Amino acid sequence: MSKLFQKTFIAGHKGLVGSAIHRCLSTNGYTNIITQNHDELDLLDAIAVNSFFESERPDAVYLAAAIVGGIHGNSTYPVDFLLGNMKIQNNIIEAAWRHGVQKLLFLGSSCIYPKAAPQPIKEEYLLTSLLEQTNEPYAIAKISGIKLCSAMNRQYGKDFMCVMPSNLYGLNDNYHPENGHALPMLLRRFHEAKINGLDRVVIWGTGTPRREFLFADDLAEACVFLMENYTSAAVGELVNIGTGEDCTIMELAQLISEVVGFNGGIELDVTKPDGTQQKLMDVTKIHSLGWRHKTSLREGLEKTYYDFLTNPTLRRP
């Protein structure tokens, strides 16, 4: 890969996706990478964001900053997930337009697609029917970001690209016992059951929903690949990024149990919601462009668990 951009800003560099993008860029020779901690730049503050762009003048932006969480987080903090994410997106995308950013990549989510979308989910299924209610606030915010990027491209001739990853996991994930996503929450639960000598782990729902899981470092490679080789005009309004493979939540739990080394049983709490029954991405477009994922689910889980064990900050309550 060649270094096409002189100055790159990663919004959300401390998160799962942003930190993976930072690693990928550094590995590929990028040295002028701008990052800002929350105490340095509040992305919810439009004036501060505009001033930052006016001063720094990045020519490439990866918009990975977001307020994220699973079913519990969306249900408990709908205003944060809807209004907060829209503010972050609007502030960065508008500032990028105003201050001449050459290229921007906006990170969406597979939850933007309809609850009853045919499987596997094609990019053109966006807004064809109702969303899954359990993550609707986050999905609506992300859809607004996609449409804003599209409008910028159409009205002002910008090159703002949107990618839709499948369910993500990996290094530097969020292991909060209530607000995290299913995979890191399960990994933490099995780990704590192991060290506390429990004989079982309880998981939400029926265990039958199917999910597709993508290692965050694979996503990062896809993002850099697209930014360096394609334009938004070439790939269309959005691009799915995934593995094209899925498994049931019960199969995931069993695999995590093996990786963690937990020898007890698994119990289902069917009083808890399942969410969408299946979310498998159609990755025909990204495959046709020349990118495929490299990391198997087991390999990714092993790397993720090692990171969890060796980074004590991840294990805080």
Q: What residues act catalytically?
A: 138
CA distance 184 to 182: 6
Residue ranges for the known binding site are: 12-18, 107-110, 142, 165-168, 181, 189, 204, 211, 274
Instruction: List CB contacts of 195: < 8 A, sequence separation 6 or more.
Output: none
Q: Which helix (H) or strand (E) holds 11?
A: strand 8-11
Residue ranges for the known binding site for NADP(+) are: 12-18, 107-110, 142, 165-168, 181
Q: How far is CA 163 from CA 99, 166, 302, in A?
A: 23, 10, 26
Which is nearest to 28 in space by CA: 272, 228, 312, 167?
228
Residue ranges for the known binding site for substrate are: 189, 204, 211, 274
CA distance 195 to 263: 11
- Is residue 155 packed enough to be buried (19+ CB in 10 Å), middle (13-18) or exposed (0-12)? exposed
Q: Are 5 and 102 in contact (CB under 8 A)?
A: yes
Which is nearest to 167 in space by CA: 132, 119, 216?
216
